[in-house]
Amino acid sequence: MRSIKNEKGMALIVSLFVVVVLLGLGTVFALRTVNEANMSRRERQLAKAFYISEAGTETGLDAVDNLINNYMFNTVNGMNPSVLINTAQNYVNGDDGIGFLMQTVQYNGTQVLTLNESQAEYTGASVSYGEGSFSYKIVITEKNDPNTVNPDVWDFPFNYRVEATADSSGVSHTAKLHGDFTVRVQRDNFAKYALFTNTQTMPSGTNVWFTNKTNFAGPIHTNGTYNFALNPSGTFEGLVAQHEQTARFYNNGWPVLLDAEANGTTDVPTFNAGFDRGESTITLSSAIVQQDMVDQAQGGQSLSGTGIFVPSSGSALTGGIYVNGDSTVNLSVDADNNAVYTIVQGADTKIVTVDKTNNQTTVNIPSVGTTTYNGIPNGVDDVGTIIYVEGSVTSLSGTVQEGTQMTLATSSDVVITNHLRYASYTPAVGTPGIPGYVPPHAQGADNLLGIVSWNGNVRIGTTAPNDVDVHGTILASSGIFQVDNYNDYGPGPRGTATLLGGVITNNYGAFGLFNGTTGQQLTGYGRNFVYDERMRMGSAPPYFPSLNTFIAFTNDIMDKIVWVEGD
């Protein structure tokens, strides 16, 4: 009995031991299951955080692209070309690419980047994404010093880093990527034309013909159709381009439209650089508006009443020259090689002498006296001389001083009544249209003239001499460049009008009439338009809305990306 009782005790002990072991194993398995569940959950959260952080870096990368190819692009495209030229060149000269970045990356006129010592930074707002969120930071530094590619193209090289931090249910992950890109700031291609028109007709719709009295020494473009008459039908040294596929030929008085460069042997232009048809239209628009030029001339002052104003503050000039009312303007150079502007508005006359060497301007009011100011009438932004006339300039003539870059703008017409020449230029050799002719040029010269009619026409008046010379780039965005009384048989042929510059107009103005059978010039002038090659190389009259806007862009932000993952 005792033995049986002992065996029952041992069985109880063994059973208890087994129960304890099983409970221990169960606890271990339970703990392991819980731990594995936690680890699995954490791995899922880590994976979520990983992918959310990658989404953050991609968002940051898109933001870099937006900062440059949207914000900077729009800012630069909206700047006055003359101001941008000075701004870009100053930052290049100062080896300060970050400074240029800070000034031009703007949204609605507000600076977007933050300067932190020598780097520009941008922090994106926290973004909800899936079951978590991310935030990112962009850091941009200079890769190399900015450089001038040519007078109207600059490169600004940068490195960038995007760092995105993600959070998913308390689990965080950081991802980084970096790369480099180069911002290229360059002049848009509008100002390359010796002639640009929206429509190659007069405002009335009348066709104006290219004849043997037509000579262009630079590229031309129209959004319409060119009209060619006789053999030869003009000589074109630069590329000729038009939007329409067919050109109009005179065809002995029975005009025809042909997809060709000539009408047999009847109407034969001379294209020395080609004739491209079916080209894309180019919009005649500008980021520079009329009020911009008014503001530059008025120098921040509120000027009322008619008259001639040279805005100043104390003894210093603050703007350009502002004229309210129809006026006459004569440009000349005195014995000391100073630019002189004689302006008459009604009973008011002012003689403005600009001494660039001593940075002084003298205003002489006949019968009253003279006043000398510090500075020259270069507008608020100090880019170059600006004269704005609220009204018409009924007479413009004279000589542009060799070191002067200026723009004359009006709200209405400008009438050229005599030669308008640069003091420094190389005269032509030979006769236009005749083999061996060498056109005039101003290569290497500093004088520049822009003539702008915002709401009127630029005209060559009836008192202008035969074989008149006009040096300058002309814009009549809603009008034409035309000869007054071009169809008046009384004076007869007046020779050739030679333009050294370019013409940007809405329509094409008439210069004279010709005999439809013989091609003989009957009235007015023949055209000899010589493109000023300096415009192709980046020069432009100050504040001139020449449509040669600048753009800033980069297409290599995503070319070389390096990823760096980290917790």
pLDDT, position 154:
87
Q: What is the mean pLDDT of residues 76-84?
A: 77
Q: Strand 270-271 and strand 235-236: pairing?
A: parallel
| pLDDT value at 9 more than 70 | no
171-187 and 247-249 beta bridge pairing: unpaired
Residue 171: per-residue pLDDT:
81
- Statement: residue 526 has pLDDT above 50: yes
Q: Where are the beta strands (DSSP E) in 62-190?
A: 106-107, 110-111, 114-116, 119-123, 127-129, 132-142, 147-150, 153-168, 171-187
Mean pLDDT on 240-262:
96
Position 567 confidence tier, pLDDT thresholds 50, 70, 90: very low
Task: Kindly state whether residues 243 and 343 are assigned to the same domain.
Answer: yes
Give the model's pLDDT for residue 270.
94
Same-domain status, 154 and 226: no
Of 269-283, 316-330, 386-400, the least confident: 269-283
Question: Of the ranges 67-76, 79-88, 184-193, 443-452, which one carries the lowest mean pLDDT score?
Answer: 184-193
Same-domain check for residues 48 and 154: yes
pLDDT at residue 6 in the model: 60
Give the pLDDT score at 189: 44
Q: Is residue 2 part of a domain?
A: no
Q: Is residue 4 part of a domain?
A: no
Predicted local distance difference test score (pLDDT) of residue 548: 43
Same domain (yes/no): 280, 426: yes
Predicted pLDDT at 219: 85
Q: Is residue 15 part of a domain?
A: no
Model pLDDT, residue 462: 96
- Predicted confidence (pLDDT) at residue 310 exceeds the cutoff of 90: yes
How many domains are contained in the chain? Answer: 2
Torsion of Cα atoms, 394 then 326 then 330 then 374, to 10°: -160
* Claim to verify: residue 251 and residue 291 sit in the same structural domain: yes
405: Cβ contacts below 8 Å, ≥ 6 apart:
384, 385, 446, 447, 448, 541, 542
pLDDT score of 461: 97
How far apart, in whole angstroms, are the C-alpha atoms of residue 417 and residue 396?
Answer: 6
Residue 77 lies in a domain: yes
Residue-wise pLDDT for 429-442, tens only, equals 988 877 888 889 99
Question: Looking at residues 300-318, what average pLDDT do you find?
Answer: 92
Residues 338 and 415 in one domain: yes
Q: State the average pLDDT over residues 143-160.
A: 86
pLDDT of residue 411: 96
Does residue 320 share a domain with residue 237? yes
Q: 137 and 45: one domain? A: yes
> Mean pLDDT over residues 227-248, rounded?
93
- Flag whether pLDDT at 276 surpasses 90: yes
SS3 35: helix
* pLDDT score of 184: 83
- Of the two residues 170 and 202, the one the predictor is more confident about is 202
Cβ-proximal residues to 158 (8 Å cutoff; 6+ apart), any chain: 97, 101, 140, 141, 142, 143, 180, 181, 182, 183
Domain encompassing residue 34: 22-188+552-566
In angstroms, the Cα distances linking 475 to 76, 193, 487, 504 are: 22, 12, 23, 5
What's the Cα-to-Cα distance from 146 to each of 72, 76, 98, 133, 157, rounded to whole Å?
Answer: 16, 16, 9, 37, 6
pLDDT category at 286 given cuts 50, 70, 90 is: low
223: phi then psi, degrees, rounded to nearest 5: -80, 5
Inside any domain, residue 454: yes
Q: Within a domain: residue 11? A: no
Find the mean pLDDT for residues 448-476: 95
Q: What's the confidence (pLDDT) of residue 459?
A: 97
Whether 464 and 449 map to the same domain: the answer is yes
Question: Is residue 405 domain-shared with residue 514, that is, in the same domain?
Answer: yes
| Among 52-56, 122-126, 373-377, the least confident range | 52-56
More confident residue, 405 or 517: 405
Contact predicate 454/477, CB 8 Å? yes
- Is 464 within the bounds of a domain? yes
pLDDT of 566 > 70? The answer is no
135 vs 44, higher pLDDT: 135
Structure confidence at residue 482 as a pLDDT band (50, 70, 90): very high
**One domain for residues 156 and 209:** no
Q: Judge whether 10 lies within some domain.
A: no
Please say if the pLDDT value at position 58 is more than 70: yes
Share of the chain above pLDDT 70, in %: 87
Closest C-alpha to 445, from 420, 424, 421: 424
Indicate the pLDDT class of residue 516, thresholds 50, 70 and 90.
confident
What is the Cα Rg of the chain in Å?
Answer: 36
Asked if residue 324 and residue 209 are part of one domain, the reply reads yes
The stretch 372-391 carries a mean pLDDT of 95
Mean pLDDT taken over the chain: 87
pLDDT (mean) for 45-59: 80
pLDDT grade for 180, boundaries at 50, 70 and 90: confident
Q: How confident is the model at residue 188 (pLDDT cuts 50, 70, 90)?
A: low
**Any residues with CB less than 8 A from the CB of 14 and at least 6 apart, and which?**
none
Lowest mean pLDDT among 226-235, 376-385, 392-401, 525-534: 525-534
